[in-house]
Amino acid sequence: MEPIKILDNLYWVGAVDYDIRDFHGYLTPRGSTYNAYLIVDEKITLIDSVRHGFESELLSRVSKIVDPKKIDQVVSNHAEMDHSGGLPEIMKYIGSEKPLYASAMGVKNLAGQFKGADINYKTVGANLSLGKDELVFVETRMIHWPDSMFSFLPSKGVLFSQDGFGMHLATPERFDDEVCEAIWGPYALNYFANILTPYTTQISNLIQKVAADGLIPKIKYILPDHGLIWRKDPGRILALYSEWVKQAPKRKAVIVFDTMWHSTEYMARELTDYLAQQGIETRYFSLKNQHRSEVVTECYEAAAILVGTPTINNQHFPSVADFLCYVKSLKMKNKIGASFGSYGWSGEGPKLVQSELQSMGFELPSPEVRIQWVPEEKDLEPLKVLGKTIAEAIKKL
């Protein structure tokens, strides 16, 4: 368990979790990392921590630099368990009298998580002395929790950005110049779409403020709490975020559905072809074999999301309800929606989906399309019209 040197007196001392696949309901097909950093100044400072279970990995890496008991202070930029879970054990090991700094909300959240733990919480001020150097704090409320903050080391241009600019990608490499964008790019978008979509307004405001304050040229390194460290080109991930926050729709549609006896599946296939024939980049996903978080990543840049469901006991399909609940929580903007599905006798499913899409603020250019029982070629005309209507609506954007 070796530390990785980033700069003189600054090290990565986190943990790599190659095995995690379910990150509170979000699929992480290539695991994640829990990044933590050690600054060696007159005061030895640990920035962030690791998930519970990885404490010994962190302490082992620190021990190759200094005796972990010599850590003087700890900064917690974000109080979610994947970063805070290791704190009780680490604080106990280094000495419970050592201060643990967090935002005011961070202190409150950590105390709520670790009731009864002997931790010397301190609320950060504007900055914190490291000895010769100092850290400056920037509150980033709701990016993505109320406690979230960034720490900045102005002398070296290092931004500790907690979850911001991260990705769930476990690799032995730590830096952006060691992994090509063709590999990390999809994971960065997947992370943004699934974690940061509800907060695009806050992120956009933050980027604008940082730019207006003239700070962007001063950021030489971005050190997030997950995935790669941006040392070669932090401007690249900043540029991607500046684009992603716009939620600008592309000429793209996502067909997502579940099916009972293949009739809704048949409709989904036909609809996919109709849209593709209209020149729309179209993606096809069955919720039987595709995780909702993967589908959401494809939805992020799509102009339209067309949701297919059968009707079961007067409701839409449970997997479709799960998907819609997830999408609703992400508060996506600028989306066109549509619903379709086959049914036997009552057929409420597509109507319920339509209503859900409406409640999310989606533009609905067409009523739902339902086909009773097993569709035949002659039944497909309304579906063709739906495809054409959606394609036209996308082309108008």
Number of residues that bind ligand FEO (CB under 6 A): 9
- Our finding on whether 17 is near ligand FEO (CB under 6 A) is no
**Tokens matching residue 198:** 């509800």
Q: Which is nearer to ligand FEO, 184 or 340 (CB)?
A: 184
**Site residues for ligand FEO, window 54-93 (CB under 6 A)?**
78, 80, 82-83
Please say which residue, 206 or 371, places its beta carbon nearer to ligand FEO. Answer: 206
Active site residue 163: yes
316 tagged catalytic: no
| Residue 47: count of CB within 10 angstroms of its CB | 26
Is residue 18 annotated as a catalytic residue, yes or no? no
- Which residue is associated with the tokens 């959606």? 390
Is 144 noted as a catalytic residue in this protein? yes
Instruction: Supply the minimum distance, in Å, between the C-beta of residue 145 and ligand FEO.
Output: 6
Q: Could you identify the residue written with the tokens 């579906």?
A: 383
Q: How far is the CB of 249 from ligand FEO (least distance, A)?
A: 27
Length of the chain equals 397
Among 163, 265, 270, 348, binds ligand FEO (CB under 6 A): 163
**78 or 231: whose CB is closer to ligand FEO?**
78
Residue 8: C-alpha distances to residues 38, 67, 132, 170 (Å): 11, 18, 14, 25
Six-digit token pair at 73?
């202070």
Are 41 and 69 in contact by the 8 Å Cβ rule? The answer is no
Is residue 225 at the binding interface for ligand FEO, with CB under 6 A as the rule?
Answer: yes
Q: Which of 82, 89, 147, 225 is catalytic?
A: 82
For 99, half-sphere exposure in the C-beta direction (CA atoms, 13 angstrom radius) is 14
Quote the CA–CA distance of 222 and 207 in Å, as a whole number: 14
Q: Of 225 and 368, which has the nearer Cβ to ligand FEO?
A: 225
- Which helix (H) or strand (E) segment holds residue 196: the answer is none
Residue 45 vs 109, nearer CB to ligand FEO:
109
Which residue reads 């996308």 in tokens?
A: 394
Match 């297919």 to its residue by tokens: 308
Which residue's CB atom is positioned nearest to ligand FEO? 80
Of 17, 48, 57, 80, catalytic = 80
Q: Which is nearer to ligand FEO, 78 or 370 (CB)?
A: 78
Interface map 131-160 toward ligand FEO (x if CB under 6 A): -------------xx---------------
Outline where 32-170 has alpha helix (H).
Answer: 55-63, 81-84, 87-94, 104-113
Verify whether residue 83 is a known catalytic residue: no
Q: Is the separation of the CB atoms in 148 and 163 below 8 Å? A: yes
Residues that bind ligand FEO (CB under 6 A): 78, 80, 82-83, 144-145, 163, 225-226
Q: Which residues are catalytically annotated?
A: 24, 78, 80, 82, 144, 163, 191, 226
